[in-house]
Amino acid sequence: MELDRPNLSYIKALADGDADFEANLISIVKKELPKEKEAFLESIREQNYQNSAEHVHKIKHKISILGLEKSYDFAIAFEEELKNDNPSQLDTFLRILQNMEEFLTTI
């Protein structure tokens, strides 16, 4: 899967010109994503795929906030696969997370 590029379009639309709101939302994503990623990875290491699916569910909202439409659709499918104990698309999801983290370090 070719990854889409993160952007701030959704955040800017939500903020509607309110720079403080925009900065706060970005700050929340920057703070929560690493914690959610680590919890996801821990559940993967434990092969607890039901729990992994719950973490993907939480993370996919941040995927959406960063304007990653294709990645969001992928996360929906990956969440369902994990519920069926199928982590075969893990590498792609990890690439999405890396893509998000790299973007967040630039803003």
The 10s digit of each residue's pLDDT in 11-29 is 999 999 999 999 999 999 9
Query: What does the block give as tokens for 43?
Result: 């559940």
The mean pLDDT value for 19-47 works out to: 97
Among the ranges given (1-5, 12-16, 17-21, 82-86), the one the predictor scored with the smallest mean pLDDT: 1-5
The mean pLDDT value for 69-96 works out to: 98
3-state secondary structure of 15: helix
The pTM (predicted TM-score) of the whole model is: 0.93
**pLDDT at residue 1 is higher than 90:** no
Q: Is the dihedral of CA 26, 32, 35, 36 positive or negative?
A: negative
